[in-house]
Amino acid sequence: MPKQLIIVNTSPLLYLHQVGCLELLQKLYQNIYVPNAVQEELNVGKNQGIDIPKIDEIAWIKICSVSSVAVLPTVIDLGKGEAEVIALGIENNNSLLVIDDQLARRIADLYNLKYTGTLGVLIKAKQAGYLKSIATVIRELRNQGMWLTDQIVNKVIKLAGE
């Protein structure tokens, strides 16, 4: 495995796919890693008729397993995908987690893990010249059901220089 793993949770994959920006992950990070639980969560969405990325058909997305269940955080309200993303981050010290869930971020902080989220990916993509407008993508994300406060949106747009 490479020096820094980019480990991505379900919601960033789903939302970036739904707004046509999934390829930004490859442009920014080359390869990303997705734990088995995230693939399972996406399949549940597929069975419910949700438009999901077919991650097992994308060469730059690597599906991987947690080495030991002993490192899985045992927090009741934490989803299985988030738990496995955090566990892979613990197992691979120099990782970057791409997670949106606030509880998962608080647990990542407890383990001193580095993370970003869907909006962080968009900011980085804008800074790298891969996006012309972050505001447009944020509108599309909201239309897809991503819950974002006006305060967060305004902060992200300002950070992106728009």
The greatest distance separating any two alpha carbons of the chain, rounded to the nearest whole angstrom, comes to: 44
Asked whether residue 135 is domain-assigned, the answer is yes
Half-sphere exposure of residue 52, counting CA atoms within 13 Å on the CB side?
19
Pairwise CA distance, residues 33 & 88, whole Å: 9
**pLDDT of amino acid 49:** 87
Q: What is the pTM of this model?
A: 0.91
H/E segment holding residue 156? helix 150-159
pLDDT digit string (tens) for 8-21?
999 999 999 999 99
Residue in the structure block whose two tokens are 């990303």: 32
Q: CB of 62 within 8 A of CB of 39?
A: no
Domain count, the chain: 1
Average pLDDT, the chain: 91
Asked whether residue 20 is domain-assigned, the answer is yes
Which backbone phi and psi does 63 adopt, to 5 degrees?
A: -90, 130
pLDDT digit string (tens) for 95-116?
999 999 999 999 999 999 999 9
Strand partners, 61: 32
Asked whether residue 1 is domain-assigned, the answer is no
Mean predicted confidence (pLDDT) in 43-61: 91
Asked whether residue 15 is domain-assigned, the answer is yes
Asked whether residue 64 is domain-assigned, the answer is yes
* CATH code for position 31: 3.40.50.1010
**Domain interval for residue 10:** 6-159
SS (H, E, C) 69-96: HHHCCCCCCCCHHHHHHHHHHHHCCCCE
Asked whether residue 147 is domain-assigned, the answer is yes
